[in-house]
Structure 1
């Protein structure tokens, strides 16, 4: 089940949000269920927010010396189907 994030429609107004929905909360819900419209605790309106996504950082490729230090075997193609260990 995916995790959805919700936030109060008026997070700065204490009369229209509880401490839970004013800070925002996460909820695991099945995909086929509609999004929440009210906070489960205070029953004030909430909205579904777009979450940050986790993307891997792009790293530079290993140089030959870095690859060897990391324990990899570096091969170089010489002919068709022939590789030589560097």
Structure 2
């Protein structure tokens, strides 16, 4: 599931929550429920805004990283033969 950041202009607090892409979160109460935190002094019906965030990218740096991520890396060797360098030994 994707992770989203929400900002409540009423209290100027930012909270990170994880939920389905199809779910619409519009109030502070909903955000707190998803995050598992207390509402505090802010009204539950206070509106929130979803913030834009950059996705976390992971770039494999070794053959083991490719293997652990579930990918296969083939390297062309002599005479056009490809070798699977991520195969388990």
Q: For the superposition of Structure 1 and Structure 2, which TM-score range results when normalised by the shorter chain?
A: 0.3 to 0.5
Rg larger in structure:
1
TM-score, normalization by structure 2: 0.43
TM-score, normalization by structure 1: 0.45
